[in-house]
Amino acid sequence: MPVVRFAPSPTGRIHIGNTRTALLNWCVAKRAGGRFILRFDDTDRERSRPEYAEAIAVDLAWLGVAPDLTVRQSDRIALYDAAVERLQDAGRLYACYETEEELERRRKRQMARGLPPVYDRAALKLTVAEKMAFEMAGRRPHWRFLLEHRIVAWEDGVRGPAHIDTASLSDPVLVRADGGYLYTLPSVVDDIDLAVDHVIRGEDHVTNTAVQIQIFQALGAAVPAFSHHNLLTTASGEGLSKRSGALSIGSLRDGGLEPMAVASLAMLTGTAEAVRPVATLAELAGLIDLSRISRAPARFDPADLETLNARLLHEMPHAAVAGRLAALGVGGGEAFWLAVRGNIVRLTDAASWWRVVTGPVAPVLEDRAFAQAAAALLPPEPWDEGTWAAWVEAVKAATGAKGRSLFMPLRLALTGLEHGPELKALLPLIGRDRALARLEGAA
């Protein structure tokens, strides 16, 4: 029973790319009867906002993702402080006094000499007197984790065998000079405390994994399994950002898209599974195999959302939308839904077709005699799906019209539109009185 987590920073709205990570974690957990933890990484005091955290929770709920536990890192600072003390006592966390400007000048000198811009561990050579001098001058230290220079290897659930030589990395800063924590240490401490045993995240975290594995080990904890999935990009290969709100879950929801259309695209793009509309998260969970996720970037076209949304609605039973149709003021029951669902892209489109049924509409017909003949031949009610064919046959016999010259004038007179649902299903919903009034109006 895996324990997984989705750990957004509440510094903006989540987008469809973040959703890919959340859904992969949720599906892996729920398919195996495990636990899904929502963890807000809100240690960035300046940019984190409670309203963003609330919005993320709302977006996940809309997608059908219900956390088994929600935690906030801002409530867990004491745990991180204790971990810092342990690492300091073990000699794995050391104080550094360089300013950002000094570090930047050092990096530039190294690059000019053809050397990698890796921190040179100069702070390890500081004497007690030198440290005291910095303190007296008002400098407060930031704290770096002392990496063991070795190959760190793991079996990645998506990428297979993976390894990184940490000798090529700078010792990471875990604690800022102002005492605030960067992402790396709190994430490890939380995973230990919450018993997270499988970390599923984007491939942009691969390098972090080597560092975090060493921190797990330095704290004497078991190392979880890691899986790094490919990232969603736009069709042109551009990455997604919280700064671009067009693909935020909130904007997609407000745009009338179905949650399972969004989930299907977010999950299936860039996998061995064909991208198609999937009706439920449980069904989607059964399709996901981390080892069958591509290593290549997962490019998607936002226009695919429209196509998936339409296909999803075209297959949706009336029971699944009855309440939402009622909220839109749409009646007609199952007969109306089955008549129009093949002609909608968003559920709100059903309201437009309900207006076509109930009127008023602006009928269009230039042949007055044809309209009068058609009106005179309207059969008495009750009507069913066979009424359209019988009526059309009678109009054909009376007027000599056939093909498009027969069907299009009747559609224009009854709906005012050239295209739409099959009239054999729509005509009984329009009813004889409205049909007669429209034909007479056209005449």
Question: Residues forming the annotated binding site?
Answer: 242
State the Cα angle at 241 between 51 and 19, rounded to 5°. 70
3-state class (DSSP) for residue 115:
coil
> What's the token pair of residue 119?
């921190």
Specify which residues 35 forms β-bridges with: 3
> What's the token pair of residue 116?
């990698």
> What's the token pair of residue 19?
């959703």
Residues at the binding site for ATP are 242
Number of other residues whose CB lies within 10 A of the CB of residue 390: 13
The region that residue 361 occupies, defined by phi over 0 for left and psi between -120 and 50 for alpha, beta otherwise, is beta
Closest CA to 324 of 308, 303, 344: 344
CA dihedral 205, 207, 211, 216 (to 10 degrees): 40
Whole-angstrom distance, CA of residue 433 vs CA of residue 225: 68
- Judge contact between 163 and 153, C-beta under 8 A: yes
Whole-angstrom distance, CA of residue 374 vs CA of residue 97: 91
Whole-angstrom distance, CA of residue 208 vs CA of residue 43: 18
Determine what percent of the chain falls in helix, strand and coil, rounding each to the nearest 5: 50, 15, 35
Q: Which helix (H) or strand (E) holds 409?
A: helix 404-415
Strand bridging mode 3-6 / 35-40? parallel
- Judge contact between 166 and 214, C-beta under 8 A: yes
Number of other residues whose CB lies within 10 A of the CB of residue 322: 14
Read off the DSSP letter of residue 240: P
State the Cα angle at 355 between 351 and 361, rounded to 5°. 150
3-state class (DSSP) for residue 204:
helix
> What's the token pair of residue 54?
């609330």
- Judge contact between 391 and 378, C-beta under 8 A: yes
110's CB contacts (< 8 A; 6+ apart) are 116, 117, 118, 120
